[in-house]
Amino acid sequence: MLHQPDTEIIFPPRVIPSLRNLRGPEWREFIDDLCQHKDDTDADILAFAWMMIKLNSCLTCHADSYRAMRGCTPCSQNTIGRFKGSDVELVAYFKTAREEMLGWINANPNSPILETLRQSFVAPSR
């Protein structure tokens, strides 16, 4: 059981707006664009969450870890704030994550979660 109210099992999209001012103008514009999506199953939101899951190492976080005790928001802010690459590289990671999700969809045509993902990825790629 997670006792920190800000801690979830994987990256929660509600954290995205809090990442806006951690980098330069290109990053802020990118986050502003993401925040226009109101549905957490939007293709761009899913791809951003996948990128953050990998960058934050969410899959190795557990209830009594330091990261879980602090919460998802500070963990994600720390990850983005300390990212050594440029804003362009972060946006490129996002695009790669989006392509990975599309690849997974194509490789798993009979997955029960596919209908939601298919509907999400109808929008054109960035």
DSSP assignment of the chain: ---STT--SS--GGGGGGGGGGS-HHHHHHHHHHHT---TTSHHHHHHHHHHHHHHTGGG--TTSHHHHH-HHHHHHHHHHT--S-HHHHHHHHHHHHHHHHHHHHH-TT-TTHHHHHHHTTSPP-
With respect to residue 6, please indicate whether it lies within any of the assigned structural domains. no
- CA 13 to chain centroid, in Å, comes to 7
pLDDT at 122: 52
Domain that holds residue 88: 13-120
Q: Given pLDDT bands bounded at 50, 70 and 90, which one contains residue 107?
A: confident
For the chain, the domain total comes to: 1
**Listed residue (1, 2, 3, 11) closest to 73, CA to CA:** 11
**In a domain? residue 3:** no
- pTM: predicted TM-score of the whole model, two decimal places: 0.84
Report yes or no on 5 lying in a domain. Answer: no
Residues 65-88: pLDDT tens digits? 888 899 999 999 999 999 999 999
Q: Are 123 and 42 in contact (CB under 8 A)?
A: yes
